[in-house]
Structures are given as C-alpha cells and as structure tokens.
C-alpha cells in the first residue's frame, strides 16, 4: 500500500527581525550571520502565540471537513510544550473541531519528535487504511538575547496529513536510525531557554548523518544514483550544508553539484523564518518541492532527521504526480514578503515579555490577526480562543 504525505503546510508568526540589523546591534560582522551561519531573518512569536496556536494555524490551512472526519490519530511533536502534563494535541483537537474519536498526544525528542510521529502515522495507516493521521510540529526556538545561539532562533509549525494514496510524498518504509545519550543541546524543565554546545552539536549531527548515510545504502542495497535530493534538518542553513559537504567524496562530482543546488532551494523558507526545531526538516521539504524547478514525479528524496540528545534517522520518500497543485509557492512567498519587520529594540522588548501570572490569572488578548490565540490564563489554565 502507498502511504505518505497527502497535504502539508506551515505557519510562522507574522513578525520578524532582520539578522543584519541584529548583527550590527551585537557588533558582529553581518556576513557571519548571513553567510557563516546562513540565516537572513528570524520570526518572533508574541505572547498570544505558542506551540498550541501555531500548530492549529498550520493544520487549519490543510484540513477540510472530509479530512477531519477521517482523522483518528493526532500527534504533535514539540519541545516547547505549554504544560508538563497535558498534551498540546488536546487543545489543538478542540480548536480544529476534530472528532473525539481521535487518539491525541504529544511527543518529545528535541527536533526528532515529528519524525517519530510520522513513522507512527505510517504504521497507523498501514493498519487502518481508510483512516488518516494528522502530524504537526510546533516550536519556539529560544536561546536568549545576546547568546551565541540567538541568531539560530525562530518559531513556527508544519502540519502534515498522512494517508493512503498520498498526493505529495509516498514514504518508502526504508529507515535507518540510531540513538545515543549525548549532551549537545537540551532544555531543563526549569529553563525557558535552551542550552547548546553548538559546535559539538554540529559534530554529532554530522557524525550521525555520515554513519546513517552509509547504513542506508547497505540496508537497502542501492546507491546514491537512486536519490534525487538530500534534505536535512536545518536549524540554521549552514548546518545541512556542512553535512552534505561531509559526504562529498562519496558522491560523483556532477551529482554532488546537483545536490548542492537542490539543497539551496530547500533552505529558502528556513533562511527567512529561522529555526522551527521539530519542523525544520519538514519546512525544508516544503521549500524544496516549491522552489526547485528540478523536482519531478517519482523522484526519490532522502531526508535526514536529527534531534539533539541524540536521535537520528534517514528515510526516503517518492514525489507523487500532481504534487505541485497541492503546494502554495506564491502564497508562501507573499506571506513572507508582507510580514511586519521589528526593529531590534522592538524585538528585544517583545522577547523579554512574559506571562505575569497573578493568583493564577493573566489576560493576554489577541495581539495578531491569527484565527487561533491564547486569550488568557484563568485559574492556572490556558484558555484558547478562535475568531
Ligand atoms: N563572514 C563570513 N563567515 C563568517 C564570518 C564573516 N565575517 N565570521 C565568522 N564566519 C563563519 C565562521 O567561519 C563559521 O563558519 P564555519 O562553521 O563554516 O567554520 C560560522 O561563521 C560561525 O562562526 P562561529 O565562530 O563558529 O560562530 P559561533 O561561535 O557564534 O557559533 C553556532 C555559531 C551556530 C554554533 C551558534 O549560533 C549556536 O550554538 N547555535 C545553536 C545551534 C545548535 O546547537 N542547535 C541545535 C542543533 S540540532
């Protein structure tokens, strides 16, 4: 049975800071951010936007009433959960108006969570071919002001509808994966900000990729000529590029040059939005399918998923005929071009804002035009609204 991504879209907050402005404020040569790290703009959420509202915003873009009726599994991959106990998926199920006959929960393993969800969705549809699964990544990447990681922040979500006979990408069920207990990036429950050993994280990411790259071809008895593009988890766009460079010697020169060109197409959205944590691999898939003029039906794309801590997985998918009609290239570029640019002062002010909960209550209100928002905390409970 063919199972895979039938619909996919993303959401990111409508305001951003330009990283050239940020570099200048931090007395850093702008080329370090735009070339050395490979990022141009960074989305910033407001207090009324969080992992729940962003997840609902992305999913709302792809679902119609017929889709909603058939969904029996909803998984949200996030490392920015809003509650230590209750899953964000329960709020999202409610906001989207999904039936109560949905198995809804949250999954966490740094930036790998969504891939775990995707693989569970594959198995779910294999066992329940008439049903579908909604898999959403939703994250706010925060390292703190004036930290080395500051330039690799961002926010957003990606929603995917997984079903049989998919219109966009058929998953090939050929994964290789590995895990290790590594201290490259983590966020303790008492901290709003992530801790990262950035360069070490890069090393582990490349080591996982090169190891899995070899394992993939051994396990599946095929070669790089079968693959049309290599897509990566890209918290910042230089990271995937370095992983690709790490296997240059294993790839014929013309094929490698072609991979690099295709990789550039996969980075357009990330460069302008920033780090989506669990969604970073999947926004690179959207960016590639929309922005590369080389993609053709039946192309096999290889995806490398990495979550610090660490978990890595390589899998492939086959592009489906008609995939283009299911994508939104123009809409996405228009949205990116019409966002509100924040000055660095405005960015810093917004960044420092916190929910100042008094006696378990705080009124937020809707600070954006978004359909879904966090309205208030009431008796220590989050109250979401839709307009
Ligand atoms: N022009 C062009 N490139 C420049 C430059 C300039 N003026 N100045 C520096 N650079 C390059 C450096 O050569 C380096 O490139 P390289 O990595 O190819 O060698 C790059 O910019 C970054 O410089 P570096 O000094 O390493 O930056 P840093 O110490 O500020 O750290 C990160 C950069 C990405 C490691 C840091 O932002 C970070 O820790 N982010 C968190 C990332 C993370 O761990 N996420 C989890 C991943 S899954």
**Residues 204-228: what's their mean pLDDT?**
97
CATH 3.40.220.10 fits 3-169+329-386, yes or no: no
pTM summary value: 0.98
pLDDT in tens, 125-160: 999 999 999 999 999 999 999 999 999 999 999 999
**Residues 312-341: what's their mean pLDDT?**
96
**Residues 41-53: what's their mean pLDDT?**
98
**Residues 162-175: what's their mean pLDDT?**
98
Determine which residue's CA is closest to atom 18 belonging to ligand 1: 36
Determine which residue's CA is closest to atom 12 belonging to ligand 1: 36
Quote the CA–CA distance of 206 and 149 in Å, as a whole number.
Answer: 18
Hey, what CATH topology would domain 170-326 get? Answer: Peroxisomal Thiolase; Chain A, domain 1 (3.40.47)
- What is the pLDDT, as a whole number, of residue 351? 97
The CA–CA distances, whole Å, from 265 to 182, 213, 221, 237 equal: 31, 21, 28, 11
**Residues 192-205: what's their mean pLDDT?**
96
C-beta 30 within 6 A of ligand 1: no
- What is the pLDDT, as a whole number, of residue 146? 97
**Residues 59-72: what's their mean pLDDT?**
98
Helix locations, the chain, DSSP H:
19-25, 30-31, 51-62, 65-70, 88-96, 113-127, 198-220, 237-246, 253-266, 268-273, 280-291, 329-337, 344-352
**Residues 51-56: what's their mean pLDDT?**
98
Q: Where in the chain is the domain with CATH 3.40.47.10?
A: 3-169+329-386, 170-326
Quote the CA–CA distance of 270 and 39 in Å, as a whole number.
Answer: 8
C-beta 183 within 6 A of ligand 1: no
C-beta 31 within 6 A of ligand 1: yes
């Amino acid at each position: 049975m063919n199972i895979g991504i039938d619909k996919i879209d993303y959401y990111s907050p409508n305001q951003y800071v330009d990283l050239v402005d940020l570099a200048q404020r931090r007395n850093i040569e702008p080329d370090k951010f735009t070339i050395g790290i490979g990022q141009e703009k960074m989305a910033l959420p407001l207090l009324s936007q969080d992992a729940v509202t962003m997840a609902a915003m992305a999913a709302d873009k792809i679902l119609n009433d017929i889709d909603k009726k058939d969904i029996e599994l909803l998984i949200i991959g996030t490392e920015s959960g809003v509650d230590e106990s209750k899953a964000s998926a329960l709020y999202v199920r409610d906001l989207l108006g999904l039936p109560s006959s949905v198995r809804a929960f949250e999954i966490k393993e740094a930036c790998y969570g969504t891939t775990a969800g995707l693989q569970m969705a594959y198995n779910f549809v294999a066992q329940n071919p008439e049903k579908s699964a909604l898999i959403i990544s939703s994250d706010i990447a925060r390292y703190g002001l004036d930290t080395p990681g500051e330039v690799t922040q961002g926010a957003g979500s990606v929603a995917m509808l997984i079903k049989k006979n998919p219109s966009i990408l058929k998953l090939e069920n050929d994964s290789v994966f590995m895990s290790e207990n590594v201290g490259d990036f983590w966020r303790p429950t008492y901290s709003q900000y992530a801790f990262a050993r950035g360069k070490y994280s890069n090393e582990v990411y490349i080591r996982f990729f090169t190891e899995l790259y070899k394992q993939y071809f051994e396990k599946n008895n095929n070669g790089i000529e079968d693959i049309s593009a290599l897509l990566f988890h890209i918290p910042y766009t230089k990271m995937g590029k370095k992983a690709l460079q790490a296997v240059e010697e294993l790839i014929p020169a013309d094929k490698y040059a072609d991979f690099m060109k295709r990789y550039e197409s996969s980075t357009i959205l990330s460069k302008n939005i920033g780090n989506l944590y669990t969604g970073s691999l999947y926004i690179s898939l959207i960016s590639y399918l929309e922005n590369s003029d080389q993609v053709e039906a039946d192309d096999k794309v290889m995806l490398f998923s990495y979550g610090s801590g660490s978990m890595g997985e390589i899998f492939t998918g086959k592009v489906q005929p008609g995939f283009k009609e299911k994508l939104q290239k123009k809409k996405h570029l228009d949205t990116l071009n019409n966002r509100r640019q924040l000055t660095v002062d405005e960015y810093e002010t917004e960044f420092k804002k916190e929910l100042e909960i008094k006696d378990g209550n705080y009124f937020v209100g809707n600070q954006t035009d978004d359909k879904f928002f966090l309205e208030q905390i009431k008796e220590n409970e989050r109250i979401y609204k839709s307009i």
